[in-house]
A = this chain, B = another copy of it.
């Protein structure tokens, strides 16, 4: 059982003092007198049995016990805050919409299907879908502007504070219009690659490094005629109308390949294979509609992997 002496007030005060590194400032922020803050901290230390701050010259310094407790206290407060407005927005009928970021890979195949299933659930909540560059989306996720990002797993440095749930793996392909000379070429594709314009993922995208590594590994140092784009609609239109080569995630062009408007070059790109999944803030508790949406996305992903497995006998 939890020690009944602890109140939220203790945690709030503690966190505020820790943030301000000053009793005075904290007292100001909290609109109470300075001794009140000191007293509250004393009470907290009483319960914990250790000091969380120590005098440091004219000010104070957090102790290592304080450091540790701070994280927990923060967790408690954010959890509570979330809890409170999770219902208050649930009450108001249409709360803020569930905001999700979808990388291009999933926005053509997975998301439409997932949304169809989601709407069947009749949750009544609105959904906002943002497509964009990975770095941007993750930053928005971190700040809380988004609740969920669906796409490739980002580089580990960017993943701190996030948790990732694997859905399926996919790779990068080199696609061209059907009837493209390279499709019937006798010699190695890589030799003549430089002849055609190439559409690359932008530098900020997740797959870019994979692509670069792959190109280097295959003896291609730099490509002329390089165009960087995030827009899949542009890419699609451009590649259809020219002899350009589009280096892009399978998911984006799966449909086009299937109905024969585009074709993948016959090269082994399995090196560029990597996980696609759901990224959320690590300790956030998903709201009810979000939880449902995540579930429908999982299902959609499962359906599609199954379909792919059947039709192409992959694996």
Contacts and interface: CB of A to CB of B under 8 A. Distances in A.
Contact of A50 (B90, B121, B157): B90
A309 interface: no
A72 B67 contact: no
A166 B157 contact: yes
Interface in A58-88: 64-65, 67-69, 71-73, 75-77, 79-84, 86-88
Contacts of A9: 4
Nearest to A65: B87
Interface in A165-213: 165-166, 169
B164 A49 contact: no
A72 B285 contact: yes
Contact of A80 (B2, B153, B164): B2
A124 to B, nearest CB: 12
A120 interface: no
Interface in A10-36: 11-12
A44 to B, nearest CB: 10
Interface stretch (A98-106, A253-261, A286-294): A286-294
A161 interface: yes
A86 B64 contact: no
Nearest to A52: B87
Contact of A49 (B49, B88, B285): B88
Given A4-B9, A71-B291, A282-B282, 13 more contacts: A2-B84, A3-B84, A48-B88, A48-B91, A49-B87, A49-B88, A64-B291, A72-B79, A75-B285, A153-B156, A159-B163, A162-B163, A163-B283
A90 B68 contact: yes
A86 B67 contact: no
A220 interface: no
B283 A282 contact: yes
A312 interface: no
Given A156-B274, A163-B282, A69 B87 contact: yes
